[in-house]
Amino acid sequence: MNIYDIAKQCEVSIATVSRVLNGSDKVRPATRDKILAVMKENNYSPSSMARGLGTGYTRMVGVLWDSDTDSHFAPAIALIEQTLRQQGMSTLLRTVSATEDKQKALSELAQQGVDGILVAGFGLTDEDEAALYTAASRAPVMVVGANINVPGVYCVQCDERRAIAGLVADLFLRQRRNILLLHDGDTLSNREKVEGYREGYAAAGYTAEDSRIIQVEPRLDAVNTCIKQLLMQRVSFDAVIGTTDMLALGAQKALQRTGLSMPVIGCNNSPLAQCVTPELSSIDNHAETLCVTAAELLCRCLQGEEVSPYTVIPADLAERDTFRR
């Protein structure tokens, strides 16, 4: 059932049918009703491909998603899809694991003919900028959780740097001067957090020591091993910040086994944090708000609206058992 069939049945031209399809007001109500009736009767729906060929738009947004991200990001992607759908956009999902080539993924997505691209859950490094630039030349790119200054690339970010700095200040107030920072690699997001960590120290008149900024694999057992090693090496620390809840949780469990107790704070405020005992304090980066905002801004951008290339949202601390101010 296509537009020709509908036109024939209604004894009108396909142009008129097309007008009805696109909600033009230049159609006599009687004609419109007749056409709509026939459409419904035949359960007709226009071919998105043919439409796309004609207009040059697919009404699809490519969503690039890091499949290795904390699983707390799963609800976020649902939120993105819902937000896009509300704006009449479909979601073409493309996941990328740590070992895959993000840049290739980005360019493939751009070539799929999507109207816009949303990059989420990363993990971006400087090297990805070139790929972003290329992709942005085909379709607007929106990055969640990063700050990248590339034309055609928009960013929505949570101010985690500031949040970490504030957290460090709070820990200092409680006489914690040797804060361990566990992170899982050199990503832009982690770099921000390390920045915040250093800022916190600086603001208190101290200098952060690199020996307490530790990279570790994002697995419980790896963190456990790491903490044990640190203790054996007699690296002293009296508080732990993990750049993900998983890292913080690993530390908490390792310390628990050793009989030690100290403030432990994670990031992302994932469901995990509330499920464990003792409940984990966590910096809430408001992933949901971030995602919804990103999706909305991207849609506005696609509708030709002027959109700010960089949007910031404040983070705050979800205080639970493992640390309270």
Partner DNA sequence: TTGAAAGCGGTACCAT
Partner DNA sequence: ATGGTACCGCTTTCAA
Report the interface residues with DNA, using CB under 7 A. 2-4, 11-16, 18-19, 21-22, 25-28, 30-32, 44, 46-47, 50-51, 53-56
Binding mask 113-152 for a copy of itself (x = CB under 8 A): x---------------------------------------
Residues 6+ apart with CB under 8 A from 185: 123, 215
Answer for which of 11, 23, 45, 175 binds a copy of itself (CB under 8 A) is 45
| Span 81-100, contacts to a copy of itself by CB under 8 A | 81-82, 85, 90-95, 97
Q: How far is the CB of 138 from DNA (least distance, A)?
A: 13
- For residue 239 the two structure tokens come to 């508080």
Task: Mark the segment that binds a copy of itself (CB under 8 A) among 19-27, 42-50, 196-204, 300-308.
Answer: 42-50
Structural contact between residues 117 and 142, judged by C-beta atoms closer than 8 angstroms: yes
Of residues 52 and 185, the one with the C-beta less far from DNA:
52
Residues near a copy of itself (CB under 8 A) are 45, 47-50, 52-53, 58, 60, 63, 65, 67, 71-75, 77-78, 81-82, 85, 90-95, 97, 111-113, 220, 249, 253, 256, 271-272, 274-277
